[in-house]
Structure 1
Amino acid sequence: MFDWFNTLFFPASEPDITQSLIVLLIAISVGFFVGRIRIGNVSLGVSAVMFVGLFLGHYGYRMDESILVFVRDFGLILFVYGIGIQVGPSFFSSFKKDGLLFNLLAVGAVVLGGLITYGIHIITKIDIENAVGLMSGSVTNTPGLGAAKATLQEIQNQFPTKVFSDPTIAYAITYPLGVFGIITTIILSKSIFKIDLAKESLSLQKKSLDTENKIIHEKCRITNPELLGKSIYQIFKELDSHNIIISRLKNSGSKVVYSPSLDTKIHDKDVVMVVGNQKDVTRFIAVVGKISTDLFIESESDVVARFIFVTNKKATHKTLAELDLHNKFDLKVTRVVRSGLELLAQPSLELFYGDKLLIVGNKEAICEIEKIIGNSEKNLLEPDFLSLFGGLIIGIIIGSIPIFIPSLPVPLKLGFAAGPLLTALFISRYGGVGAIHSYINNGAIHFMKDLGICLFFAAVGIHAGAAFYDNFIKFNGWLWIYYGCYITFIPLIIMVLLGRFVFKLNFYQLVGIMSGAYTDPAALAFSTKYLDSEIPNQSYATVYPLVTIARIFIAQLLILLFAS
């Protein structure tokens, strides 16, 4: 009577599509539950899906091979593409500040880990595929594992007689070491170096005052007699203040507020609203006058400020100068919010789909401009599958381009990991390609990333679980964990020493670089709670994309150069 139930939920050596899907969904749902269990401040998070998959695979649960390969590769593509879209804008802008140093430090740790892995392969005679699995697990890098498996498959397609070990076994054995290794290093380095978190936070705040690019607005009363009677354009030119915007002006003795043009002349004791980054605004006010406490200039009776979303595709990829909102509608754009970043509204700034503009001017004119800009939040909430899947197609095409290198057995490819990641980074940087735009709302990005990594972890876990215990005994899994310690801790220790004592990095930033260099969201989540700060998130996002690409390439090169 219950044969159908047994067929669905009990192990089968040759599962059909329905049985495969049931196993996949059990691994993901139970994995999510296990991942929420906390020991202190630490939880496995989404990586628990892989360990549940290992458990199921060990006890005989299987998936149809073709379904498993599809789920694994499609999950990886979704995951890395979501990462690229999410961190792309902040990744490129970070190079204007400390991003170059952060990335050099993180990528240096990646290269050192690759050299240690090669050394372990040579000294211990471990197969290079297992050594790469050890490396990927010891640094919790899933895309590197995916790239290694894809490269092994390419070699096997070219040379069918060759037989390779599955790097997923070594990856699964050392993965917990990677998670807890970073956490242990964070705790020990804070204790050994006697880090004063209050002092570190104050130091970072002081540094931010000098270099912060956050856009602010400040009221200023004009008192400099040398500027009276001159136009705003002349003042900007004389003071070299082209990164400043005057959004509102109120003449002395008047209650009327309006949005001035560059030809508007300045008079004694006029009050203006100055928009720009902290450093430029402070310098400008110090020269032209003093901070004002005038309340009328902020009144919404004559001039209002409204956020407008760019949702009309006719307005995308046009500069603010091309739209010419001030001359046509007497409106002024003061800032643009893009992927959480605030940008000063320079005339040369190109608008992307999903940008949020802060527009200052007359209410009726703002209503008119909505017809040109769009301002349809409903459109932003609806998924644009053309942009999403179009971007994925481009990523897969780029990842499939063969790069012929002499002496390598098969061409080098970016693969399903690096191809979509690079594509997403550049699409998010340039706003899109043709009809494909970069905007995906945050909820959709998080869903795509989590779904992708769950599919990948479940597939590799179920596949590896079948031989996990036997391989752990055969290859002495404890010895592999010992080897993994070298890959985990040596680059971390050197990174901490160089970052702290040579480059004098703030501890909050250094912790984010450590987590990002090992692409470890579990360590990042721990550090933000342990340090009670969101600062590590910034440096984590800065190094994550380049580190991911570097780990993918190193995993591929090790396989291509040394696989027997």
Structure 2
Amino acid sequence: MDALRILLETQPLLTLFVTVALGYAVGEIGIKGVALGSGAVLFVGLAIGGWAPRSAPPPLLGTLGLLLFLYGIGIQYGEQFFKGLTSAEGLKANAAAALGVIVSGFVAVALVPLFGVGLDQALGMFAGSGTSTASLQAAMSSMKGDGATVGYSVSYPFGVAGPILFLYALGTLLKPKIERPPPRMIEAAEIALTNPALVGLTLAELAARLPPGVVIAAVRRAHHNQQARTNLVLQSDDVLLATATSPALLVETTALCGELQPGRMTNHREDLDYMRVFASSRLVVGRALRDLRFPEGVVCSIAHVRRGDIDMMPGQELILEFGDRVGLLVNHAHLKTMRAFFGDSIKGTAELRFISIGVGAALGLIAGVIPVPIPGVGRLTLGLAALLLVALCLGRARRFGPFVWTMPLTANLVLRNFGLTIFLAQVGLASGPKFFATVGVTGASFLLYGVVIVLALLCVTAACCLWVFRLPYDMAVGVISGATGNPAILAFANRVAPTDAPDVGYAMIFPSMTIVKILFVQVAAVLIGS
């Protein structure tokens, strides 16, 4: 065993990846649906670090991992975050979560005078209860000690398991009726125009009479399919290719326009053919559909866009992202040209633009060292919180000139999860000795403190969401997940409320609550620590 300990202490990179592998193996162990996930890496790191005290890699490696995690979060959720700051529902969600976070922070700080807990340990428990690694980094930087990591590691399990058990109990108590929505897919119908009241209208005039969400993608006239031009004057027996995300809308459209005649258009592709391409070219990614300029001589229309598992109607404001699958109606002779225009490379959808990442991260780090005056507190540097803010702005902008800030979703997930894993492993290894020395004396009381902090966060957030702001239940569980932060909690919320609302609620408030937690830690360290 001594030989193994010496090996781990002389090979820190080997120790780091052993910690990652063992941590994920432990994290996959679930007890009644509750698992620690990537958080188990921290506990394995603490165990190895306590046994082999000199095995930790340099702290800069952990900071780099956290940078990658925060940058990926900001890039992915930038648009949803700013929508949350402007919509009435988003403002309510942010207010409810912020109140819960601040109350739990005051509960943590109150432990200092009431029970003699160190401020660094109390702030660490606050960070662990909210499963916020960024807050842990802020506490470590502000307090210059290992106490924050000890508090974090003790309260972290309750930060993961507590909200899951809370949501289970809340659903059992309230018994909300939530129906799983059908898969959102584009449906199409070929409708012969037999309603004389519509003959002579232009397509633009017809569109104003159709149910919202229905689009005429193409028209067949005189045995030829053609693009749906807004100024096209409709004639009797024209065949309309109508698309919508709901079959009920197509039934309503058919009743308005005429009768179904399937096969009239799709069996004849001499003039217009259908193709699906991947959006992977920088000519199209990050641009709204209204800004796309097709190659000269090519007449093409976009029938739909599929992102992930969701079909979206091709509105003019829709901005393409890496990996979007775009359905096109175009002449067969131009298929190759349009493939080249969109890129159509599945490999390209997984590639990262490292120039954009380098520039974006550098801008965030520069912003993080600029002192910001806060009344009554003094001048603070935001550190990695500023990087998150910059990444959110870049994620909303999507692109600027040659810089495409967005990343393919798969690449984003890999980048930020890898960064989070490296951070947790490095912090665990570095803090192992101090953790076991402290928990051996105060472990039982620290566990109880962690439970109280988590309950304060959950109860206040849930009460504000459900009874003060009266948000829908499925939105409320997403907000609770975002306030606590861990993706495992969101995954459970999606099981108890199988709609899109939990994801929307989580995305609207998770970045802002990360910033609130970081700022609370920094302000508390200045006001109380001094």
TM-score (norm 1): 0.82
Partner residue, 2:407? 440
91-100 vs 513-522, which deviates more?
A: 91-100
Any idea what SS the aligned residue of 1:403 has? strand
2:459 and 2:280 map into 1 onto residues whose CA distance is 48
The residue identity in structure 2 corresponding to 1:460 is V
Partner residue, 2:147? 166
Partner residue, 2:62? 72
The answer to whether structure 1 residue 370 and structure 2 residue 360 are counterparts is no
The answer to whether structure 1 residue 415 and structure 2 residue 383 are counterparts is yes
The residue identity in structure 2 corresponding to 1:176 is P
Aligned-residue offset at 1:51: 0.6
Pick from 369, 372, 382 the counterpart of residue 400 of structure 1. 369
The residue identity in structure 2 corresponding to 1:233 is A
Partner residue, 1:105? 96
Aligned-residue offset at 1:79: 1.3
Partner residue, 2:108? 117
1:518 and 1:531 map into 2 onto residues whose CA distance is 17
Pick from 520, 524, 527 the counterpart of residue 558 of structure 1. 524
Pick from 539, 543, 547 the counterpart of residue 505 of structure 2. 539
Partner residue, 1:10? 5
Give RMSD over aligned pairs. 3.6
Aligned-residue offset at 1:168: 0.8
The answer to whether structure 1 residue 380 and structure 2 residue 370 are counterparts is no
The answer to whether structure 1 residue 176 and structure 2 residue 157 are counterparts is yes
* Structure 1 residues 429 and 249: alpha-carbon distance in aligned structure 2, compared to 1, 3 A threshold: same
Any idea what SS the aligned residue of 2:372 has? coil
Partner residue, 2:282? 313
Partner residue, 2:171? 190
2:28 and 2:449 map into 1 onto residues whose CA distance is 29
Partner residue, 1:274? 242
Aligned-residue offset at 1:50: 0.7
Partner residue, 1:292? 260
* Structure 1 residues 339 and 89: alpha-carbon distance in aligned structure 2, compared to 1, 3 A threshold: farther
The answer to whether structure 1 residue 38 and structure 2 residue 30 are counterparts is yes
Aligned-residue offset at 1:448: 1.5
Aligned-residue offset at 1:37: 1.8
Partner residue, 2:302? 333
* Structure 1 residues 427 and 276: alpha-carbon distance in aligned structure 2, compared to 1, 3 A threshold: farther
Residue by residue over 1:301-352, the C-alpha shift from the partner in whole angstroms, topping out at 9 and shown as x without a partner, is: 2322222334443445655445454994221123344576655434455555
Any idea what SS the aligned residue of 2:347 has? helix
Aligned-residue offset at 1:283: 11
427-436 vs 29-38, which deviates more?
A: 427-436
The residue identity in structure 2 corresponding to 1:397 is I
Residue by residue over 1:2-21, the C-alpha shift from the partner in whole angstroms, topping out at 9 and shown as x without a partner, is: xxx966x32489x5xx5222
The answer to whether structure 1 residue 250 and structure 2 residue 227 are counterparts is no
1:96 and 1:363 map into 2 onto residues whose CA distance is 44
Aligned-residue offset at 1:467: 1.2
Partner residue, 1:158? none
2:250 and 2:451 map into 1 onto residues whose CA distance is 50
Any idea what SS the aligned residue of 2:304 has? strand
2:343 and 2:14 map into 1 onto residues whose CA distance is 44
1:336 and 1:290 map into 2 onto residues whose CA distance is 27
Aligned-residue offset at 1:535: 6.3
Conservation of the 8 A alpha-carbon contact between 1:305 and 1:359? yes
* Structure 1 residues 492 and 482: alpha-carbon distance in aligned structure 2, compared to 1, 3 A threshold: same
* Structure 1 residues 220 and 548: alpha-carbon distance in aligned structure 2, compared to 1, 3 A threshold: farther
Q: Map 1:326-365 to 2 at 5 A.
A: 328-337=297-306, 343-347=312-316, 351=320, 355-365=324-334
The answer to whether structure 1 residue 450 and structure 2 residue 417 are counterparts is yes
Q: What runs of 5+ residues in structure 1 fail to find an aligned partner?
A: 154-163
Q: Map 1:19-168 to 2 at 5 A.
A: 19-63=11-55, 67-92=57-82, 98-153=89-144, 166-168=147-149
Residue by residue over 1:177-231, the C-alpha shift from the partner in whole angstroms, topping out at 9 and shown as x without a partner, is: 22221122122222233x15xx3226xx4xx9xxx99866554443443331122
2:310 and 2:512 map into 1 onto residues whose CA distance is 20
* Structure 1 residues 62 and 216: alpha-carbon distance in aligned structure 2, compared to 1, 3 A threshold: farther
Conservation of the 8 A alpha-carbon contact between 2:128 and 2:155? yes
170-179 vs 226-235, which deviates more?
A: 226-235
1:250 and 1:223 map into 2 onto residues whose CA distance is 14
2:504 and 2:375 map into 1 onto residues whose CA distance is 40
Pick from 373, 378, 394 the counterpart of residue 427 of structure 1. 394
176-185 vs 527-536, which deviates more?
A: 527-536
The residue identity in structure 2 corresponding to 1:25 is F
TM-score (norm 2): 0.86
460-469 vs 115-124, which deviates more?
A: 115-124
Aligned-residue offset at 1:167: 0.8
Conservation of the 8 A alpha-carbon contact between 1:90 and 1:541? yes
Aligned-residue offset at 1:53: 1.1
Conservation of the 8 A alpha-carbon contact between 1:247 and 1:275? yes
Q: Among all aligned residue pairs of Structure 1 and Structure 2, give the percentage whose two residues are the same amino acid.
A: 26
1:213 and 1:464 map into 2 onto residues whose CA distance is 47
Q: What runs of 5+ residues in structure 2 fail to find an aligned partner?
A: none
1:263 and 1:127 map into 2 onto residues whose CA distance is 73
529-538 vs 459-468, which deviates more?
A: 529-538
Conservation of the 8 A alpha-carbon contact between 1:402 and 1:412? yes
The answer to whether structure 1 residue 549 and structure 2 residue 515 are counterparts is yes
* Structure 1 residues 412 and 52: alpha-carbon distance in aligned structure 2, compared to 1, 3 A threshold: same
1:78 and 1:151 map into 2 onto residues whose CA distance is 21
Partner residue, 1:156? none
The residue identity in structure 1 corresponding to 2:28 is R
* Structure 1 residues 337 and 81: alpha-carbon distance in aligned structure 2, compared to 1, 3 A threshold: farther
Aligned-residue offset at 1:519: 0.5
1:361 and 1:255 map into 2 onto residues whose CA distance is 17
* Structure 1 residues 322 and 442: alpha-carbon distance in aligned structure 2, compared to 1, 3 A threshold: closer
Aligned-residue offset at 1:76: 0.5
Aligned-residue offset at 1:534: 7.7
* Structure 1 residues 287 and 129: alpha-carbon distance in aligned structure 2, compared to 1, 3 A threshold: farther
The residue identity in structure 2 corresponding to 1:139 is G
